[in-house]
């Protein structure tokens, strides 16, 4: 959409896997239960004021903790801007207030759930904790919510200068209610599968449900960054050829060919409806192809987990064994693609470059 | 527009919203049923999954796109930046117990995806062929003001040539009960910037603006309604729902918007204030206006007593009011004002002022989460 590199200084994820750094990353791999992957709680008290934490929803705790730790890792105390994306925001609080309202016939309701149900509630809290009075924005557009936040950050760097430190994040939770609701639209597989076998179970409708929060400290300056997002594109109502063309377009715009790509991270979800969208992977026969939805599950901002994984791979120089769908022959990892989709008709393509 | 100039409020007890509190609260309810809204855009069939939120959006967009050459939208890159605070909650709340009953199926399934804020955006973009870029913003009561900023920035950076920006929210029990649980909904008509104010009246609506560069507007022979001269998005970083009581956040936002527009405070002819008539907002915003603009405080008023607080749509609707103020060279009254606030030495405009010189109008939108926006429109 716009070519302005985003340099990633730090990446933090709270996810169904060990991703927050207190144990070895992605080890051991956590399996789904009844087609759901649930984010692992971390010690939220290390990041949030103890008085405030008592009334906070899990989603708020997850997003604030990931955000604050990300700022700490980047050595940024007060970001110049906070931009987030979420498919459903504090879905749990919204459902809580909604159910109470229906069952209690609109009387004697607890306002806390209403307040926290606003989509930008995590932003407000993060701004409050980091005393950041700058630009603050929340995108709520299904499967491209994080992508729009990244686009906004690109605009901001182009306008306000590359020295700006921007905190970008995403958050979504899968509640028990949400699981039941979206089951009616075939979001999840009818048959219970172990998440490690997600990609073999690709002849039926649905995937496994997931959730998580991921935050990134970015700026327009290279110093201290592990990698950059060089290009970002979104496709609405895609067809396989559109995705292939878009990938070629992104590569060409950056003076690259498919051969220059060393790793492709793909959002295959085991859902038969979307396997054809990943036909583009055939163009990367000698590269490593990594999957991630068996680790984080399917949700609107799963691109955040993929981006966190990409950052890990660049930082470590290796692709975690548990993500490898196809083993490539590359010694070095210089360029990576993330190709992801969400059920409601969007695909995003990101090109990342190593700075190592 | 006539209602604004003639001081006619649109608040009344709701006819369409089904709530046990329906006869307690005055609301800015749009005087059409969902079926009538659908008819307005020529949709008799194919209304599956269309919520009131989406219908309001479609009606407003039809009015806007009816005034421009549709081929223009088809052939040149456009961004549709929409916003909402609760998406299709107006339908979701009617069916939620069916939604969550395992295995239950039925007609209600058409509304499941409307729980996303992006639902109305996708449907409207599809209906009017708005492409290639669409986005949905949700920053509470400043949502559509932020949509306007986003559109302007995308145009400035050359990502798109034009942008249609705004927001939509339909009245629903969820929001009414939410604000009522916070005890800041007034049963009387709201009284912005008044000592006796108690809270807000809710409203519903949708509003959109078409933004493009001056040169592009001139090139297609379009009538330029106003210039968006400056804007700021900033955060209070003070409290999850309440503004800083001294108005520091609002002050900073307005000050930066002036700086962005390269204008001195005295250049502002009129401020269309956020003015929700809640205890906290009006104190903070009033103090900020007083501090920033003293000694020459411009005319200011809140038009919320005309429309109710239309939440995500408010920023765009009030941006449109600001533009009407520029076009008509008129200032709108702050209805229901009788008693000055103790903490303020300034008072809002209480009567329509016509034949006045209006050069620059500031429009404020402040939301939960400390999300503040000021926009400046000029002739």
- The strand pair at B132-137 and B78-83 is best described as parallel
Q: Does the beta carbon of A137 lie under 8 angstroms from any beta carbon of chain B?
A: yes
Q: Which residue of A has its CA nearest to B132?
A: A236
Kind plus residue range of the DSSP H or E element containing B229 = strand B227-235
Give the confidence band of B240 by pLDDT, cuts at 50, 70, 90: confident
Q: Do A152 and B239 count as a contact with CB atoms less than 8 A apart?
A: no
Distance from CA of A82 to the nearest CA of B (A): 9
Tokens of B94: 């009617």
Mean pLDDT on A255-284: 97
The pLDDT of residue B258 is above 90: yes
Residues forming beta bridges with residue B82, ordered by sequence position: B136
- Is the pLDDT at A2 greater than 80? The verdict is no
Residue of B nearest to A125 (CA): B240
Q: Which residue of A has its CA nearest to B241?
A: A115
Give the best residue of A114, A245, A246 to mutate against chain B (max B CB count within 10 A). Answer: A114
A109 at interface of B, judged by CB pairs closer than 8 A:
yes
Q: What percent of chain B has pLDDT over 90?
A: 93
Length of chain A: 356
Q: Which residues have C-beta within 8 Å of that of residue A44, sequence separation ≥ 6?
A: A53, A61, A62, A64, A65
Measured between beta carbons, which residues in chain A are less than 8 angstroms from residue B21? 106
Which among B153, B182, B237 has the least Cβ separation from residue A127? B237
Q: Which two tokens stand for residue B379?
A: 């002739």
pLDDT per residue as tens digits for the range A162-193: 999 999 999 999 999 999 999 999 999 999 99
- Low-confidence winner among A36-45, B9-18, B233-242, B269-278 (lowest mean pLDDT): B233-242
Record the tokens describing residue A204, joined without a space.
């039926």
Return the closest-CA partner of residue B29 out of B191, B130, B168, B171: B171
Q: Quick check: A98 contacting B, CB < 8 Å?
A: yes
The pair of three-digit structure tokens given for residue A327, joined into one six-digit string: 């083993």
Q: How many CA atoms lie within 13 A of A284 on its CB side?
A: 31
Domain map (residue ranges) of chain A: 6-219, 227-354
Give the three-class secondary structure for A343: coil
pLDDT of residue B46: 82
Q: What is the CA radius of gyration of chain A?
A: 19
The minimal CB distance from B234 to the residues A125, A130, A135 is found for A135
Contacts of A239 (CB under 8 A, 6+ apart): none
Structure token pair of residue B37: 């809204």
The DSSP 8-state label assigned to residue A332 in this structure reads S
Chain A: residue whose CA lies nearest to B110: A185
Q: Which residue has the higher pLDDT, B242 or B137?
A: B137
Within a 10 A sphere around the Cβ of B97, how many other Cβ atoms? 14
SS3 assignment, position B98: helix
Residue A267 pLDDT exceeds 90: yes
CB contact under 8 A, B239 and A128: yes
- Residues in chain A with CB shorter than 8 Å from the CB of B252 are 133
Give contacts of A234 with chain B, Cβ < 8 Å. Answer: 133
Phi–psi pair at B213, nearest 5 degrees: -70, 150
- Of A209, A142, A258, nearest in space to B136 by CA: A142
Taking an 8 Å cut-off on Cβ atoms, the answer to whether B235 and A134 are in contact is yes
pLDDT of the residue at A185: 96
Does B134 sit within 8 Å of A2, measured CB to CB?
A: no
Instruction: Give contacts of A 142-171 with B, CB under 8 A.
Output: 142, 144-145, 148, 151-152, 155, 158-159
CATH number of B8-219: 3.40.47.10
Catalytic residues of B: 141, 274, 309
Domain A227-354 class, CATH top level: alpha beta
The string of pLDDT tens digits covering residues B85-102 is 999 999 999 999 999 999
Structure tokens at A15: 């996810």
- Reported ipTM: the value is 0.97
Architecture of B227-378 per CATH? 3-Layer(aba) Sandwich (3.40)
Write phi, then psi, for B162 (nearest 5 degrees): -135, 160
State percent of chain A over pLDDT 70: 100
The 10s digit of each residue's pLDDT in A109-151 is 999 999 999 999 999 999 999 999 999 999 999 999 999 999 9
- Residue A182, chain B, CB below 8 Å: the answer is yes
Determine the residue among A82, A139, A143, A164 to mutate to test chain B binding: the one whose Cβ has the most chain B Cβ atoms within 10 Å: A139
Distance, CA of B119 to chain centre: 18
Percentage above 90 pLDDT, chain A = 96
What is the mean predicted confidence (pLDDT) over B43-47?
Answer: 85
Q: How many whole angstroms separate alpha carbon A89 and alpha carbon B85?
A: 11
Please state, rounded to an integer, the average pLDDT across all residues of chain A. 96
Give bridge partners of residue B230 from the DSSP assignment: B376
Q: Within an 8 Å CB–CB cutoff, is residue A115 touching chain B?
A: yes
* Residue B325 contacts residue B270 (beta carbons within 8 Å): yes
> Residues B350, B331: contact at Cβ < 8 Å?
no
Residues of A in contact with B121 (CB under 8 A): 141
Q: Are A171 and A84 in contact (CB under 8 A)?
A: yes
Are the beta carbons of A127 and B20 separated by less than 8 Å? no
**Longest Cα pair distance anywhere in chain A, in angstroms?**
64
Mean pLDDT across the stretch A308-328? 97
**Chain B residues within an 8 Å CB radius of A141:** 117-118, 121, 134-136
Whole-number pLDDT of residue B242? 86
Q: Would you give the DSSP letter of residue B188?
A: S
Which of B47-51, B79-83, B323-327 shows the lowest per-residue confidence on average (mean pLDDT)? B47-51
**Structural domain boundaries in chain B:** 8-219, 227-378
pLDDT at B148: 98
Pairing of strands B162-169, B78-83: parallel
Helix axes B89-99, B52-65, angle to 10 degrees: 150
**Closest chain A C-alpha to B245 CA, distance in angstroms:** 15
Give counts: helices (H), strands (E), chain A: 10, 11
pLDDT at B254: 98
Asked if the Cβ–Cβ distance from A141 to B154 is below 8 Å, we say no
Is the domain defined by A6-219 classed in CATH 3.40.47.10? yes
Q: What is the pLDDT of residue A3?
A: 82
Domain A6-219 shares a fold with domain A227-354: yes
- Tell me which of A83, A127, A132, A301 to substitute to probe the interface with B (most B C-beta atoms closer than 10 Å): A127
| Closest approach of A171 to chain B, Cα-based (Å) | 14
Nearest-CA neighbor of B345 among B305, B294, B272?
A: B294
A309 to A4, A19, A70: CA distances (angstroms): 22, 9, 14
Q: Which of A35, A98, A104, A173 to substitute to test the interface with B, most B CBs within 10 Å?
A: A98
CB-CB under 8 Å, A89 with B138: yes
Q: Is A182 within 8 Å of B156 when comparing Cβ atoms?
A: no
Same fold, B8-219 and B227-378: yes
């Amino acid at each position: 959409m716009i070519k302005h590199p985003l340099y990633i200084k730090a990446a933090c994820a709270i996810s169904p896997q060990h991703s927050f750094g207190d144990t070895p990353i992605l080890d051991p791999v956590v399996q789904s239960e009844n087609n759901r992957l649930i984010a692992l709680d971390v010690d939220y008290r290390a990041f949030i004021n103890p008085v405030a934490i008592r009334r906070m929803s899990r989603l708020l705790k997850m997003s604030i903790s990931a955000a604050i730790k990300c700022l700490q890792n980047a050595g940024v105390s007060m970001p110049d801007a906070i931009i987030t994306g979420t498919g459903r925001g504090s879905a749990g609080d919204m459902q809580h207030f909604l159910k109470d309202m229906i069952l209690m016939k609109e009387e004697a309701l607890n306002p806390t759930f209403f307040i926290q149900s606003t989509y930008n509630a995590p932003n407000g809290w993060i701004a409050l904790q980091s005393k950041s009075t700058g630009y603050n924005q929340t995108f709520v557009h299904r499967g491209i919510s994080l992508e729009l936040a990244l686009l906004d950050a690109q605009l901001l760097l182009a306008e306000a200068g590359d020295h700006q430190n921007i905190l970008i994040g995403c958050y979504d939770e899968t509640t028990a209610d949400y699981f039941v609701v979206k089951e009616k639209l075939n979001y999840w597989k009818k048959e219970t599968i172990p998440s490690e076998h997600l990609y073999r179970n690709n002849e039926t409708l649905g995937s496994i449900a997931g959730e998580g929060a991921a935050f990134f400290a970015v700026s327009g300056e290279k110093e201290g960054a592990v990698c950059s997002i060089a290009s970002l594109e979104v496709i609405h109502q895609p067809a396989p050829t559109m995705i292939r063309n878009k990938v070629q377009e992104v590569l060409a715009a950056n003076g690259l060919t498919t051969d220059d790509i060393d790793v492709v991270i793909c959002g295959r979800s085991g859902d038969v409806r979307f396997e054809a969208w990943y036909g583009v992977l055939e163009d990367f026969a000698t590269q490593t192809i990594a999957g991630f939805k068996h680790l984080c599950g399917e949700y609107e901002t799963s691109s955040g987990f993929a981006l966190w994984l990409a950052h890990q791979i660049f930082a470590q120089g290796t692709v975690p064994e548990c993500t490898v769908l196809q083993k490539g022959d590359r010694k070095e990892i210089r360029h990576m693609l993330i190709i992801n989709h969400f059920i409601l008709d969007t695909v995003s393509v990101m090109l990342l470059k190593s700075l190592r | 527009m006539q209602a604004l100039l003639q001081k006619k409020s649109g608040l009344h007890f709701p006819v369409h919203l089904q709530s046990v509190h329906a006869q307690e609260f005055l609301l800015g309810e749009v005087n059409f049923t969902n079926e009538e809204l659908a008819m307005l855009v020529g949709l008799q069939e194919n209304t599956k999954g269309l919520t009131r939120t989406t219908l309001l959006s479609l009606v407003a967009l039809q009015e806007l796109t009816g005034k421009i050459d549709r081929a223009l939208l088809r052939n040149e890159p456009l961004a549709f930046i929409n916003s909402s605070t609760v998406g299709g909650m107006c339908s979701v709340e009617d069916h939620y117990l069916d939604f969550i009953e395992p295995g239950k199926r039925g007609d209600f399934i058409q509304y499941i995806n409307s729980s996303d804020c992006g639902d109305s955006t996708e449907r409207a973009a599809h209906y009017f062929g708005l492409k290639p870029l669409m986005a949905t913003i949700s920053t509470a009561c400043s949502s559509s003001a932020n949509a306007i900023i986003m559109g302007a920035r995308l145009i400035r950076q050359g990502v798109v040539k034009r942008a249609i920006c705004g927001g939509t929210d339909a009245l629903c029990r969820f929001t009414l009960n939410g604000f009522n649980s916070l005890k800041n909904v007034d049963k009387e008509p709201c009284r912005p910037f008044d000592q006796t104010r108690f809270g807000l009246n809710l409203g519903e609506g949708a509003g959109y603006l078409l933004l493009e560069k001056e040169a592009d507007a001139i090139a297609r022979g379009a009538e330029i309604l106003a210039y968006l001269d400056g804007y700021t998005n900033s955060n209070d970083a003070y409290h999850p729902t309440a503004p800083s009581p001294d108005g520091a956040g609002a002050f900073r936002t307005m000050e930066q918007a002036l700086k962005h527009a390269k204008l001195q405070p005295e250049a502002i002819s009129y401020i269309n204030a956020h003015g929700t008539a809640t205890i906290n907002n009006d104190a903070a915003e009033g103090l900020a206006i007083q501090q920033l603009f003293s000694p020459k405080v411009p005319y200011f008023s809140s038009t919320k007593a005309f429309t109710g607080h239309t939440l995500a749509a408010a920023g765009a609707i009030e941006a449109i009011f600001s533009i009407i103020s520029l076009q008509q060279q008129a200032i709108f009254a702050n209805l229901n004002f009788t008693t000055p606030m103790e903490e303020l030495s300034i008072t809002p405009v209480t009567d329509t002022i016509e034949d006045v010189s209006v050069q620059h109008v500031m429009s404020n939108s402040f939301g939960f989460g400390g999300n503040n926006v000021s926009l400046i429109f000029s002739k």
